[in-house]
Structure 1
């Protein structure tokens, strides 16, 4: 079943990391790093398989595992433009971030 994110792009800005999120299908997303800060290189892009659960209208919990082994879980509040992101890195590092989430026009 198609979710309401599919086909849309968003800019996630959590201060130390700014990323474009493109929900390609209801089970895949492409993220592209706009500004990786000290976390990752600018321009890095990866397609990931996602699990998406709608918590309530316009609020989603999204989880995926990256090629590096990092695991990421977002709670995305599209109504209020707020994102909560938790990431566990392969080296054991854990990041808890909060920031903004804004839609961008589809081309």
Structure 2
């Protein structure tokens, strides 16, 4: 199995509906996410991330945003699948699954 290069690449994450984002991995500790759809949902932000390799080409990535939202992704770059768990506030916990594709 060939290791997929993630650092220095951009990926489209599509959870469906309004939840479509671009992830730009600057390093293994810094990423910028930005909404792709022009619907006013979310704003671009560069965050410090932690990436833990679960198996080759599958990572758990997690970060905290300026708004105190916490996000945990399981990103399967080999199969193009992503799962997310998002804590927006103490009463809101969101879970989505979607597609993960490399973009230029």
Output the TM-score relative to the length of structure 2: 0.88
List 4+ stretches of structure 1 deviating above 3 A.
Answer: none
The two structures, once aligned, show a CA RMSD in angstroms of 1.9
For 2:81 and 2:95, the matched residues in 1 are separated by: 14
* Residue equivalent to 1:22: 24
Mapped to 2, the partners of 1:36 and 1:63 lie a distance apart of 25
- How many aligned residue pairs are there? 100
Q: Residue by residue, what CA displacement relative to the aligned partner does 1:13-56 show, whole Å, maximum 9, x if unpaired?
A: 0013000000011100000111386xxx2471000000001111
Which structure 2 segments of 5+ residues have no match?
A: none
Structure 1: stretches of 5+ with no match in the other structure: none
Shift in Å at residue 85 of structure 1? 0.7
